[in-house]
Amino acid sequence: MDAPAPTSPPGAAPAGATSAGVTSPGTLPPGAGPTVLEPAAWQPLADAHAARADAFTVGHRERRSRHERHAIEDFLYEYYPTRPAQLRRWHPGAGVRLAPGPDGPPPHAGWRWYRTHDDGTVGLDVEAFLADRGEGVRFVADLVARTGARPAATGCFGLHEWAMVYRQGEHRHPLPLRLGQDGTDAVVEAHRIRCTHIDAFRFFTPAAAPRNTLQPTRATQPALEQPGCLHANMDLYKWALKLGPLAPGDLLLDAFDLARRIRVLDMRASPYDCTTYGLAPVEIDTPDGKAEYVAAQRAFAAESQALRTRLLRASGAVSASRGR
């Protein structure tokens, strides 16, 4: 079944394409030499990217101007500290140079880690970027590769969110519990908790942590991360951010879109009552709810694997730089 979450917002460009029908250079196989894009090619890509980013962030920006907060949608901007301006900044990726136009060089000429070549084209200085951020890029490449090589585990049923409120009066989100505190605690106690993700496990209540079959740590993250985990798949957005200008713009926005749709499932399956936001619960405390959750989880796992392949392609600049 399709994942029970909203699709890309109206006006958003399909992954790897623009309204002009131009494919993002970041989706093409890497060539032996740099690809040079004329303004007629790269400007529509940059404009379509900005429009797609704006469509994603419009709700957040409007709420922020009114000093309001959406407990579900605004989470991504807080958990992965991101500004809308970051999302709308288009990077072509490594191995792509942008030719100047009649109005002068592309804006990238003034951006960190970009260089202007003798012919006036502007491109990412991969060696300069890796000199500053190579360790982080290598970590991302290693973690993404290890995670993608494992089978997806789909027996957790999203109980990590339940473990975060187990036997605790104060909760992370200003939403009521669908089953109340006693009912929520009973669900946790009736299940085996099997969370593999450190950044979910670290928010478990003191009473819930010992109930987990694993005790994830930062050191064991590369050994435990697996593609069935919703939070590991949301984190692909974090890893795209970590790659910075190595990640082509379409890859960054596709990862953000995946994270925002997963966030919806995560909260629908949580103990919170999200009906005030128009979201029906995925009742993982029932057999039908479990089946619905697992089907969506598998769909997201498959989608995330395609993004992992693209992240590894983008981070391949590390290997290339070692050979120079």
Long-range contacts, stretch 206-212, CB < 8 angstroms, 24+ apart? 207/166, 207/167, 207/168, 208/163, 208/164, 208/166, 208/167, 209/163, 211/163, 211/166, 212/163
pLDDT over 70 (residue 148): yes
Dump pLDDT digits (tens) for 238-252: 999 999 999 999 999
Range of the domain at 227: 33-322
pTM recorded for the entire structure: 0.88
User: What's the number of domains the chain is made of?
Assistant: 1
Quick one: pLDDT at residue 319?
A: 55
What is the spatial distance between Cα 199 and Cα 197, in angstroms, rounded to a whole number?
Answer: 6
**pLDDT average, residue stretch 24-33:** 49
Question: CA nearest 300: which of 240, 251, 257?
Answer: 257
200 lies in some domain: yes
6 lies in some domain: no
253 lies in some domain: yes
Q: Which of 15-19, 124-128, 278-282 has the lowest mean pLDDT?
A: 15-19
What is the spatial distance between Cα 157 and Cα 154, in angstroms, rounded to a whole number?
Answer: 7
Quick one: pLDDT at residue 22?
A: 34
pLDDT over 70 (residue 315): yes
Q: What percent of the chain has pLDDT over 90?
A: 84
11 lies in some domain: no
How confident is residue 67, by pLDDT bands cut at 50, 70 and 90?
very high
Dump pLDDT digits (tens) for 215-228: 999 999 999 999 99
How confident is residue 33, by pLDDT bands cut at 50, 70 and 90?
confident
14 lies in some domain: no
What is the spatial distance between Cα 308 and Cα 170, in angstroms, rounded to a whole number?
Answer: 36
Dump pLDDT digits (tens) for 1-22: 333 333 333 333 333 333 223 3
18 lies in some domain: no
**pLDDT average, residue stretch 50-75:** 96
114 lies in some domain: yes
315 lies in some domain: yes
